Amino acid sequence: MKDIVNNTAAIWKGIWKKLWRHIVGGVLILTLLLCMPFARIDLASGSVPTNPALPAAAPDPVETPALVDGQYSLVIKSSVGILTYYNQSDIRWAEHLYGGQDPLKIYGCGPTALAMVVSSFTNHTITPPEMADWAAANNYWSPHSGTSHNFIPECAAAFGMKADSFQNLTVEGVLSELASGHILIALMGPGHFTEQGHFIIIADDWSGTQVRIADPISLENTQQPWELQTILDELSRTANSGGPVWSISPR
């Protein structure tokens, strides 16, 4: 009887020993599998797919240059709407003789400024040389000096716009006038814009105390903000006919 018990114990001991080896082996295999990196398998093909190539990013849009082969092409934001920019030195009309004598590129800031305003905010489309011819025909041309000051309010009115002398020559006053739906034409004296006299358009508030302008002779000046106080400090001191600043708006 004792031999039978001993044999049975030996058999169970062998069974447990084999079972324990299988358990340990299974744990080791499972551990290895968990530690190995996984790859997604394409079950249909048996291959490991690669990440699809993404399309190339679209290039940034190319900004159209404002000056090409001597011709200017630019629009700017104004408090009245989009303003078409003209430059008096544009190759298409720079040598046009204002009054039959004076090159537009030197003496044509007044007609060029009004051509911008009229072409942008009325039903009329008029170029700087056409406006210069109109000014000369209506006695606003001043030989070798440019344009008489009364041209600004009277030309604006002739083309269906409302033009008033603007007197609140403070930063707050100008910004308020722009915000109320007007643009301003200013006659500048010596300083950043001219050595004698020069018409510019104060088109819109840029930010804070800065404004956007349209300078008929300078694209650089037109494309950068200007401190409004600088403009006010350099206004012409000899202006007449309601100047040096006129407020203009469509009727």
Q: Could you give the percent of the chain with pLDDT greater than 70?
A: 75
What HEC string does 151-220 produce? HHHHHHHHCCEEEEECCCCCHHHHHHHHHCCCEEEEEECCCCCCCCCEEEEEEEEEECCEEEEECCCCHH
pLDDT above 60: residue 250: yes
Lowest mean pLDDT among 1-15, 81-95, 147-161, 178-192: 1-15
Q: What is the CA radius of gyration of the chain?
A: 40
- Statement: residue 46 has pLDDT above 80: no
pLDDT class for 122, splitting at 50, 70, 90? very high
Q: What is the pLDDT, as a whole number, of residue 65?
A: 86
Position 231 confidence tier, pLDDT thresholds 50, 70, 90: very high
Q: Report pLDDT digits (tens) over 169-218.
A: 999 999 999 999 999 999 999 999 999 999 999 999 998 899 999 999 99
20-37: pLDDT as tens digits: 565 655 555 555 555 554
The DSSP call for residue 42 is B
75-104 pLDDT, tens digit per residue, is 999 999 999 999 999 999 999 999 999 999
pLDDT of 50:
55
Band (9; pLDDT cuts 50, 70, 90): low
